[in-house]
Amino acid sequence: MARKTLLIYGAGAIGRGYVPWVFAPDKYRYYYVEAQKSIRDILNEQKYFTSLKTKTSTYQVLEVPVEFCYAPGEEKSIISDVDAIITAVGPRNILSIAENLQNTNVPIICFENDDSIPGFINSLTGGTNAVFGIPDVITSNTAPAKIGKKDPLAIITEDGFCYIDSAARKIGGDCSYVNKKLLAKQWQAKLYLHNTSHCIAAYLGSFISAKYIHQAMENRSVKMIVKGAMYEMQEMLKRKMRLNAEFVDWYARKELKRFCNKLLYDPISRVAREPFRKLAHGERLIGAAELCLTGNIIPKNVLTGIMAAFCYNNPDDPDAHIRYLISALKPQDFLKIIMNLQPNGALFELLLSCWNGTLKRLGNLK
């Protein structure tokens, strides 16, 4: 049987690290579109990369052949000839590729950590072929030095799960194609149990100068706050989303275990990047805290994570200016002008009332 052809936007953590475990290289041919020239050049020179999947105390190794890696825009020459398109470029970068997706009717699977992206793409292209996919997995964008010496593009992923809208079922692969109701359930769990707690672990880890998530979780106080935030999310999902308690509690245990996986080498800088996006209304921090309050849950630990995000200090991050803004403005002005929170609103008042105490709690982590 002839191999199907995939065009993958983004040769990063998901695109390079996890996609090959879902769509096996012996059944699919790989073409990439990657903006970063250094990655593009190595892919086109080597014609392969290595993905390593964590298995208990070791790695399962997969060598992935690559047909070609295009610079953005160059892929137009083959886009009409592929069997499926996968996007894994990050929600902020979707607009830059949407125009190139207008002249294709093949399934577009969006692994974007944002369930609004397929609808956004379809609205711009006039199509109906973009669908949501959930790679329920942690994939690092790096590898230990001894592995990187053998292949500079080596990348590590865990043995996770993948859920995709059943509208794209004909593409096949080692994944679960599910209806929109089941997909929404998985997304709610991932957004609030995984995404919320994962980025809180990253912002707390940055505060103690950890490099990887598992190192942050080795700090007893950090782990206690992350577990506390996870519990707040569990209660919110049970009360507000009416998710099954057994499913929610199983999911939470799974997440805490994966955050501590020492084989992943999951960088703090990757998980914490773009704090403003994670602090947006309806997102994994501000949105999660607001949902807790409407469910009569005081999200003390999520608030600590929000404050840690406010204080995130990485000069190389696209949102590095957040640190300057919080230093330059009074707390109430920062919350109103920068975070767009309504004065006298419940979350505004709560953040303001515990501002100094939360900063002290963060200071005690060091």
pLDDT in tens, 271-311: 999 999 999 998 999 999 999 999 999 999 999 999 999 99
Task: Give the C-alpha separation, 313 to 323, whole Å.
Answer: 6
Q: What is the pTM of this model?
A: 0.92
What does 32-54 look like in DSSP terms, one character per residue? EE-S-HHHHHHHHHHSEEEEEEE
Cα separation, 188 vs 173, whole angstroms: 24
* Residue pLDDT, tens place only, 52-88: 999 888 899 999 999 999 999 999 889 989 999 999 9
Q: What is the mean pLDDT of residues 154-162?
A: 93
CA distance 87 to 108: 7
Judge whether 347 and 293 are in contact, CB under 8 Å: yes
Task: Look over the chain and give the mean of its residue pLDDT values, rounded to a whole number.
Answer: 94
C-beta of residue 119 within 8 angstroms of C-beta of residue 129:
no
Domains of the chain: 4-178 (3.40.50.720), 182-363 (1.10.1040.10)
User: Residue 143: pLDDT band by 50, 70, 90 thresholds?
Assistant: confident
Per-residue DSSP letter, 202? H
CA distance 74 to 33: 8
Task: Write phi, then psi, for 33 (nearest 5 degrees).
Answer: -125, 120
Buried/exposed code over 215-240 (b: 16+ C-beta within 10 A; e: otherwise): bbbebeebbebbbbbbbbbbbbbbeb
Residue with tokens 């060598």: 63
Please tell me the predicted confidence (pLDDT) of residue 56: 81
Find the radius of gyration of the CA atoms of the chain.
21
For 204-222, how does the pLDDT look when each residue is reduced to its tens digit (9 = 90+)?
Answer: 999 999 999 999 999 999 9
Asked whether the predicted pLDDT for residue 145 surpasses 80, the reply is no
Using pLDDT thresholds of 50, 70 and 90, give the confidence band for residue 100. confident
pLDDT for residue 208: 95
Residue found under tokens 């403005």: 329
Mean local confidence (pLDDT), 241-269: 95
Please report, to the nearest 10 degrees, the dihedral formed by the alpha carbons of residues 120, 121, 126, 130 taken in order: -120
108 backbone dihedrals φ, ψ, rounded to 5° = -115, 110
SS3 329: coil
What is the per-residue pLDDT for 1? Answer: 66
Query: Rounded to the nearest 10 degrees, how much is the dihedral formed by the CA atoms of 103, 181, 178, 89?
Result: 50
Q: Which of 364, 366, 362, 332 is nearest to 348 (CA)?
A: 332
